[in-house]
């Protein structure tokens, strides 16, 4: 059963309750903390992006095309569509001999409000390269070009690139391929359903690449994590919780949003992975849950709490910009005893 994670207060009364699940797992797959149901069937959505990007390094494609750290990081991000995101994606496409017309992720306004406003004022329509999944799709196209696979149908579940990604999802989450549920994401490619704790396990494996772990120093996972931790702006962008967490915590945490109330964290120095699901998909509630989880795991000191306060206890304003309510996380992580 789900548990209440967040309550919304207005005038001293509870207006709304948001329920969900949290699970914290170590690299051996042992649950360390939980709230709700660790086996809740979870749709990975954009939480899958780092796992989907790994084959670019593992196959040798990243070295073949001389990708920079920024370009490796952008494969893992849910991008704002800011100019530096667009430039990175364009550079990758140029290196593999393609252009933005080959992206099949669809078109939406940039997630970054300032960038969207600028395009609108210039009368410039958004392009696929502004899509928040442009980096992920560019990774898929990279694998197609590197392996001499067709690119016109790369989104289809039967395409070799999607089958390669399925193998990687199965390997990292330790869920057999035949037990992974499949849907279609908003950007048109396959998306995966599996237990929340298995996503947390995959993010624990990402955390195991911590630079202090000498055995993992030169692995593809370590190389990818070094890139994303060095370039948090490529994981989301300005005014986004993922980037703000990573900038505040300085390589101690990899933070990755999914969609519809899903989130994942790699706690690098503790070797832990975290999976979070707010059942109703509300981001206002999700942000509060993510920051409270970090606090309860002992990762937020006074400076970090100040930096992330707008996500932790968001205030509710009326149209006169007066404070009329607050969003409060109310859960307690339950320690799981051996």
Of 318, 325, 326, whose CA–CA distance to 288 is shortest? 326
pTM: 0.96
Rounded Cα distance, 7 and 18, in Å: 6
Q: What is the pLDDT along the chain (338 residues), one digit of tens a residue?
A: 899 999 999 999 999 999 999 999 999 999 999 999 999 999 999 999 999 999 999 999 999 999 999 999 999 999 999 999 999 999 999 999 999 999 999 999 999 999 999 999 999 999 999 999 999 999 999 999 999 999 999 999 999 999 999 999 999 999 999 999 999 999 999 999 999 999 999 999 999 986 655 555 689 999 999 999 999 999 999 999 999 999 999 999 999 999 999 999 999 999 999 999 999 999 999 999 999 999 999 999 999 999 999 999 999 999 999 999 999 999 999 999 86
Number of domains observed in the structure of the chain: 1
Beta bridge partners of 10: 13, 325
Sheet containing strand 41-43, strands side by side: 41-43, 190-195, 181-184
CB neighbours (10 Å) of residue 4? 15
Per-residue confidence (pLDDT) for residue 337, from 0 to 100: 81
164 by DSSP, 3-state: which?
helix
Pairing of β 190-195 and β 181-184? antiparallel
**Distance linking the first and last C-alpha atoms of the chain:** 22
214: its two tokens: 């000498």
CB neighbours (10 Å) of residue 224? 26
Q: What is the CATH number of the domain that holds 315?
A: 3.40.710
Pairing of β 323-329 and β 253-257? unpaired
Per-residue confidence (pLDDT) for residue 295, from 0 to 100: 98
Beta bridge partners of 272: 26, 267
Instruction: Give the angle 168-67-187 at the CA atoms, nearest 5°.
Output: 50
- Give phi and psi for 274, each to the nearest 5: -125, 130
Per-residue confidence (pLDDT) for residue 294, from 0 to 100: 98
* Contact residues for 1 (Cβ-Cβ < 8 A; gap 6+): 36, 37
> Position of tokens 């001293």?
12
Tell me the residue range of the domain where 113 lies. Answer: 3-335
Q: Which helix (H) or strand (E) holds 72?
A: helix 69-74
């Amino acid at each position: 059963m789900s548990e209440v994670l967040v309550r919304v207060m207005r005038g001293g009364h509870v207006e709304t309750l948001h329920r969900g699940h949290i699970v914290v797992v170590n690299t051996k797959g042992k649950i360390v903390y939980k709230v709700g149901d660790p086996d809740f069937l979870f749709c990975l959505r954009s939480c899958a992006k780092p796992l989907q990007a790994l084959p670019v390094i593992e196959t040798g494609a990243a070295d073949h095309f001389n990708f920079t750290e920024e370009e490796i990081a952008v494969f893992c991000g849910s991008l704002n569509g800011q100019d530096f995101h667009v430039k990175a994606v364009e550079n990758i496409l140029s290196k593999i001999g393609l252009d933005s017309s080959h992206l099949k992720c669809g078109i939406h306004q940039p997630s970054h409000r300032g960038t969207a406003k600028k395009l609108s004022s210039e009368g410039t329509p958004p392009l696929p390269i502004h899509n928040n999944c442009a980096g992920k799709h560019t990774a898929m196209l990279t694998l197609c070009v590197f392996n001499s696979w067709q690119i016109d149908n790369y989104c289809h579940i039967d395409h070799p690139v999607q089958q390669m990604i399925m193998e990687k999802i199965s390997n990292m989450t330790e869920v057999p391929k035949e037990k992974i549920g499949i849907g279609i994401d908003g950007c048109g490619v396959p998306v995966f359903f599996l237990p929340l704790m298995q996503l947390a396990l995959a993010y624990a494996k990402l955390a195991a690449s911590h630079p202090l772990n000498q055995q993992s120093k030169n692995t593809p996972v370590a190389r990818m994590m070094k890139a994303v931790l060095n370039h948090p702006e490529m994981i989301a962008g300005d005014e986004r919780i993922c980037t703000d967490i990573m900038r505040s915590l300085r390589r101690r945490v990899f933070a990755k949003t999914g969609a519809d109330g899903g989130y994942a964290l790699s706690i690098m120095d503790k070797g832990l992975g975290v999976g979070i699901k707010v059942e109703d998909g509300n981001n206002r509630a999700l942000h509060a849950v993510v920051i409270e989880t970090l606090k309860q795991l002992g990762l937020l000191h006074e400076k970090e709490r100040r930096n992330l306060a707008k996500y932790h206890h968001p205030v509710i304003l009326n149209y006169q910009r007066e404070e009329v309510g607050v969003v409060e996380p109310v859960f307690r992580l339950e320690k799981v005893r051996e």
